[in-house]
Amino acid sequence: MHEISFRREFLSGLRAIAPLLFAAIPIGFVFGTVAVGQGLSPLEVGLMSALVFAGGSQFVAMDLWTHPASWAALGFAALLVNLRHILMGASLERSLGRFHAWQKLPSLLVMADEIWAVAEARARTMVLTPAFYLGLALPFYCGWVVSSLAGALLGEVIGDTAVFGLDFAFPAVFIGLLMGFWKGRETGLVLIASAAASLTVYHLVPGAWYIAAGALAGLGAAFVPLADKEQTA
């Protein structure tokens, strides 16, 4: 009975993540082609995707990549990009009540935006189980590593991926994730504030500071309605 329940939950997670997995595969492919263009070998691309497993950080790293690479700059950029994972992890940890202590850490280590979004949506209506989460994380992790390696191996043959519109896959996925959490006017204000701040800093300040600026502006915009509600209450 336990095996049947595990299989059912795992397959349920797999079905839930499947649309986002197919949307993320072109992103991984594009990353592989970009990374090879910056001088990384296919082996290095595969290892980077397997060990880092953070698409946003990996793309930012390629934007800042030099020969020799500035590890301090790359590490700091990755830190700025992934600061959001602190809030995401704190949010998700509340839903890991069914997880053993040894299951929680690896679950948070493979927490990509897509995995977090689907897990949060599940936790709103049903109990989040380890089997369901494994059904989300395992295929998504493998898909990211394999697609980025494929991009590294085949990118030179295919050429410019922008011709096929693959470069739009990244923003398309995040637009879909954002719409899943849409709450009306308040969400729109957060997005506008974040976009305005990040675009402004991107054009005025070198480096990856635009990421932190967008995050802080979004947090500020989200905090203002909450403060107003407390004052009226």
Instruction: Using the predicted structure, report yes or no on whether residue 79 has a pLDDT greater than 90.
Output: no
Closest listed residue to residue 140, CA positions, set 54, 215, 201, 68? 54
User: What's the domain count of the chain?
Assistant: 2
Same domain, 117 and 232: no
The reply to whether 167 and 224 lie within a common domain is no
Same domain, 124 and 233: no
**Residues 173, 212: one domain?**
no
Average pLDDT on 21-30 reads 88
Q: Which of 155, 181, 207 is the last residue of a domain?
A: 181
pLDDT of residue 4: 58
Q: Decide: residue 164, CB within 10 A, 0-12 exposed, 13-18 middle, 19+ buried.
A: middle
**In terms of residue numbers, what domain contains 206?**
182-233
- Cα distance between residue 59 and residue 49, in whole Å: 11
Span 201-214, average pLDDT: 79
- 145 and 114 in a common domain: yes
- Determine the Cα–Cα distance for residues 196 and 157; give it in Å rounded to an integer: 38
Task: Report the sign of the C-alpha dihedral through residues 114, 213, 185, 233, in that order.
Answer: positive
Same domain? 177 vs 222: no
Residue 14 has pLDDT above 60, yes or no: yes
Could you read off the pLDDT of 209-221 as tens digits, one per residue?
777 788 788 777 7
- Top-confidence range, 102-106, 189-193, 207-211: 102-106
Q: Which pTM does this prediction carry? A: 0.77
The pLDDT-based confidence of 130 (bands split at 50, 70, 90) is very high
Same domain, yes or no: 212 and 149: no
pLDDT tens column, 109-125 = 888 888 988 998 898 88
Residues 161 and 205 reside in one and the same domain? no
With bands split at pLDDT 50, 70 and 90, how would you rate the model's confidence at 54?
A: confident
Q: Is the peptide bond before 130 cis (omega within 30 degrees of 0)?
A: no
Q: Are residues 167 and 140 in the same domain?
A: yes
